[in-house]
Structure 1
Amino acid sequence: MKKLVLAISLLSFAASTAFADTILDRQEYMKERGKLVKQMGQMAKGETDFDAAAVLTALKGLEANAEKFDAEAMFPEGSLEGDTTASPKIWEDFSGFKAAEEKYLDAVKGAVAAPPGDLDALKATMGTIGGECGACHKAYRIKKS
């Protein structure tokens, strides 16, 4: 009986460790996305000079990042516990969650296909992409206090 309890405890610990890695992986993934958006946001706010080539590079980075999105791998059932701001709504509405990411990817692909050529166009692009980010965060993320 002690061996059974020990085995179950070890499996439980291993599962929680695996989910901790999953949570860290998805946080790193989102941080990568955030860095790219920040670069363009600094230009849109006038904190740095507008650079069309840098914008296109950032947009292509966002596109590559979004194309790597794998909801099943990044948000497996049971990965809600731990240091995460993922909302339970992700698993309650998994198809809606995946659809939100698809809308984001479509917005990014559209921006890559027709990159902004000036500051006003960048602001509009940031509004579109940021709107998709915000919609997903509002529905599927818990705000940190």
Structure 2
Amino acid sequence: MRKSVIACLTVAALSVGAVAGADGHISDKQIAAAVKARQSHMQLYAFHLTTLGGMAKGEVPYDSEAAAAAANSIVALTGLAQSGYWLPGSDSESIENTKALPAIWADGSDVGAKSGALTDAAFAMQTAAATDLDSLKVAMEGLGGACGACHKMYRQASN
């Protein structure tokens, strides 16, 4: 499964140009739609991570079914094609209302590796979530670390 996710990400990364018009121009409307889609995607991650994090912190009782559902959703989110979300010119220095730093698009960016680490952590959580609370807590460290590693490098800090 992991290999198929990586293959999809690679194909997606190579197909970003297909989003542009015939002249290579990406319209403001396309950029706005891309930003909205990626922010919605991130909100879905946050929604499911809140369920798991609440259990890990003891804020809500551990529920193996709810934990498994949240973990399964995160795995599904990591498998969605995302290349259309990350259009050149949709960074925090080019437009307002985004925290995506230009470093995402820079040569040598390791955003793909970080995405792979998130996928790995999501699969680990999927295995752990329905097992028991202690397993969920351990997997939450890995999942939170994967999210944080990308945000630290590629997301503008909140004011």
Same fold by TM-score greater than 0.5: yes
Measure, in 1, the Cα distance between the counterparts of 2:107 and 2:121: 21
Q: Who is 2:37 aligned against?
A: 25
1:13-52 maps to which residues of 2 (within 5 A)? 15-52=27-64
Residues 52 and 117, structure 1, Cα contact 8 Å, conserved in 2: yes
Measure, in 2, the Cα distance between the counterparts of 1:93 and 1:54: 40
Does 1:77 find its partner at 2:88? Answer: yes
Larger Rg: 1
1:1-145 maps to which residues of 2 (within 5 A)? 15-70=27-82, 72-80=83-91, 81-93=95-107, 95-145=109-159
Return 5+ residue gaps in structure 1 as ranges: 1-13
Q: Which residue identity does 1:39 align to in structure 2?
A: T
How many corresponding residue pairs? 131
Q: Who is 1:4 aligned against?
A: none
Q: Which residue identity does 1:77 align to in structure 2?
A: P
Measure, in 1, the Cα distance between the counterparts of 2:73 and 2:143: 13
CA shift, 1:113, in A, is 3.3
TM-score by length of 1: 0.83
**Post-superposition, which runs of at least 4 consecutive aligned residues in structure 1 deviate over 6 A?**
none
**Higher helix proportion (structure 1 or 2):** 1
**Percent of aligned pairs with the same residue?**
33
Q: Which residue identity does 2:147 align to in structure 1?
A: C
Residues 40 and 58, structure 1, Cα contact 8 Å, conserved in 2: yes
Structure 1 pair 49–140 and aligned structure 2 pair: CA distance change class (3 A): same
Larger RCO, structures 1/2 (Cα 8 Å, 6+ apart): 1
Q: CA RMSD for the aligned pairs?
A: 1.7
Deviations 1:90-109 (A, max 9, x none): 00147511111111001111
Residues 20 and 82, structure 1, Cα contact 8 Å, conserved in 2: no
Structure 1 pair 99–93 and aligned structure 2 pair: CA distance change class (3 A): farther
